[in-house]
């Protein structure tokens, strides 16, 4: 991170939680936040809990985000949730293009770009996830894959849109596996991403927060967050227990 960007630590709860457990988790996070004032903190619960979690965090500096959004505005899209609806229940962020959405639900680069645009149109900050599979890394295709994923969004929205967005680099092989990219591996890709944006607009590139995601925990967070182009974390497993999540927030605060 540099002085011009703040750290953002974001919890992606995935398909986990229920009301009582969410309350316990949020209470724990809120109780431990005072020591980390300079770090932005975000929780992304499943859709049904957005309104109740908003009630738990809205008087605090913990922000609320969703894990997915429809690319459509409204109408006959059974089962879908629009960006305006997310805004209406208190969200300020939404994750788009998580690798689980891309691989398990077939989301394409173009669809992810449309979701990114839908989020911005509703005044939500999209967190655009990009990342390579193990196969792609072994085939030395990491930079090409990331470039393709970012280019699809730049083509759809223009570079200036990234002034109001966050990017998360999440190597697919590190998500939920316990395998973690080394700080140097992650920094190389973050630097590549910032370079791609800088080729279009240096100011936008310098300001955009680029998070790392993939088995980040309290004991590996400082090494990753200490790298110059890593501005926070998108946290899956370790976001489900307040002590684990706070350990990452505290690591960011200590840098």
Closest by CA to 183, choosing from 200, 169, 202, 167, is 169
Up-side HSE of residue 42: CA atoms within 13 Å toward CB?
A: 27
Catalytic residue (one of 71, 132, 170, 250): 170
The residues that touch ligand PEP, with contacts defined as CB under 6 A, are 12, 170, 175-176, 213-216, 234-238
Measured from the CB atom, the residue of 101 and 204 that comes closer to ligand PEP is: 101
Closest by CA to 238, choosing from 212, 218, 223, is 218
Q: How many Å apart are CA 214 and CA 221, to the nearest integer?
A: 11
Strands 93-96 and 62-66, sheet pairing: parallel
CB 231 within 8 A of CB 6: yes
Measured from the CB atom, the residue of 204 and 224 that comes closer to ligand PEP is: 224
Q: How many Å apart are CA 146 and CA 140, to the nearest integer?
A: 12
Residue at token pair 């699809």: 152
Report in angstroms how near the CB of residue 111 gets to ligand PEP at its nearest: 18
Catalytic residue (one of 98, 107, 136, 190): 98
42: helix, coil or strand? Answer: strand
Measured from the CB atom, the residue of 134 and 163 that comes closer to ligand PEP is: 134
Measured from the CB atom, the residue of 11 and 62 that comes closer to ligand PEP is: 11
Measured from the CB atom, the residue of 204 and 214 that comes closer to ligand PEP is: 214
Report in angstroms how near the CB of residue 246 gets to ligand PEP at its nearest: 15
By beta carbon distance, the residue nearest ligand PEP is 236
Burial class of residue 4 in the structure, from the number of CB atoms within 10 Å of its CB (0-12 exposed, 13-18 middle, 19+ buried): exposed
- Burial per residue of 129-143, b for 16 or more beta-carbon CB atoms within 10 angstroms, e otherwise: bbbbbeebbeeeebb
Report in angstroms how near the CB of residue 238 gets to ligand PEP at its nearest: 6
Report in angstroms how near the CB of residue 165 gets to ligand PEP at its nearest: 17
Report in angstroms how near the CB of residue 59 gets to ligand PEP at its nearest: 27
**Whether 170 is catalytic:** yes
Point out the residues that are catalytic: 98, 170
């Amino acid at each position: 991170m540099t002085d011009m960007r703040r750290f953002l630590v974001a919890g992606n709860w995935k398909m986990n939680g229920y009301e009582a457990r969410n309350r316990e988790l949020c209470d724990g996070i809120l109780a431990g936040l005072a020591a980390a004032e300079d770090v932005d903190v975000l929780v992304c619960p499943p859709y049904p809990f957005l309104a109740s979690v908003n009630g738990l965090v809205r008087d605090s500096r913990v922000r609320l985000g969703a894990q997915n959004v429809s690319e459509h505005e409204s109408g006959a899209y059974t089962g879908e949730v629009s960006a305006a609806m997310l805004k209406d229940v208190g969200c300020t962020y939404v994750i788009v293009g998580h690798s689980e959405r891309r691989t398990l639900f077939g989301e394409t680069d173009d669809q992810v770009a449309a979701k990114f645009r839908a989020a911005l149109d509703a005044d939500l900050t999209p967190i655009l996830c990009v990342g390579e599979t193990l196969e792609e890394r072994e085939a030395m295709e990491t930079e090409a894959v990331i470039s393709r994923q970012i280019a699809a969004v730049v083509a759809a929205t223009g570079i200036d849109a990234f002034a109001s967005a966050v990017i998360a680099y999440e190597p697919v092989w590190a998500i939920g596996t316990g395998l973690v990219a080394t700080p140097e591996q992650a920094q190389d890709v973050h630097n590549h991403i910032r370079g791609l944006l800088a080729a279009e607009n240096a100011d936008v590139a310098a300001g955009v927060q680029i998070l790392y995601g993939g088995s980040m925990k309290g004991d590996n967070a400082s090494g990753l967050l200490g790298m110059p182009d890593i501005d926070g974390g998108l946290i899956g497993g370790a976001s489900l227990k307040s002590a684990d999540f706070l350990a990452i927030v505290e690591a960011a605060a200590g840098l």
